[in-house]
Amino acid sequence: MLTPTAIRSSVMPVPAVPLPMPPHDTAQAESLAEAMQLRGAIMSYPRNAEIFAEDEPADYLYQVVCGSVRTYNVLSDGRRQIGEFYLPGDIFGLQCGDKCPFSAEAMTDAKVRIVKRSSLHALAERDPSIARELFVLTSRELMRMHKRLLLLIKSAQERVASFLLEMAERVPSNPDIELPMSRQDIADYLGMTIETVSRTFTALEAAATIEVPSSRHIVLRNRPALNRLNG
């Protein structure tokens, strides 16, 4: 399964003015969201631009403001594995040690809030609630990862079904889904080839489980069937 994706944009990210965020509804003196807003800079990335690269020093935490982001690894033989897709609101970069264990790219034009990890950790030293939030966030990411694991042992149909259900949950415009990623991205996320992804979509459509009006627009027609496939 070779996927020699040499996507590398030469476009430089453009700093933008911070966007106002809706006020957070917790009683916290300062929540993580607020802290990130205060301390964060917002960067704009065009489609396919690199946000950070594997093995770079991992100095920042990131939050998608708008658009979408993919993290990924490229194996020595060129195969690419997508680590995760991040949508508006999602925070990524939590699992970094000293060096980033993967790369990140804007999947669509995107604005990303960037905060120095050191600044957040310093804050966490003083404010246990921030520390707690960081922990919860990481632990949640871990659970998401765990669901991915379960995904990857399944058949092609099951993987695609799980993927669609996950996306439906994350972009709440049911039953329609507007996918921000290409077939290649989906394939590399699910650990299969682009052809198998395509065939699986076709099969699900033939079974009237989904509709595919355009390649990135999916309509879930039979959720029970998808849930059955989901195991």
Contacts with DNA, residue ranges (CB under 7 A): 1-2, 155-157, 182-184, 191-199, 201-202, 212, 214-216
Say which entry of DNA, a second copy, none residue 128 contacts (CB below 5 to 8 A, set by partner kind): a second copy
| Phi, psi (degrees; rounded to nearest 5) at 46 | -75, 165
Rounded to a whole number of angstroms, the minimum distance from the CB of residue 95 to a second copy is: 4
Q: Are 74 and 5 a contacting pair, CB within 8 Å?
A: yes
Strand, coil or helix: 90: coil
Q: Are 83 and 44 a contacting pair, CB within 8 Å?
A: no
* By the rule CB under 8 A, 141 interacts with a second copy: yes
Q: Nearest CA to 89 among 58, 49, 59, 62?
A: 62
Question: From CA 149, how far away is CA 140, in angstroms rounded?
Answer: 14
Q: Which is nearer to DNA, 182 or 222 (CB)?
A: 182
Rounded to a whole number of angstroms, the minimum distance from the CB of residue 225 to a second copy is: 14
Which residues contribute to the site for a second copy (CB under 8 A)? 1, 73, 75-77, 79, 81, 83, 94-97, 101-102, 121, 124-126, 128, 131-132, 134-135, 138-143, 145-146, 148-150, 152-153, 191, 231
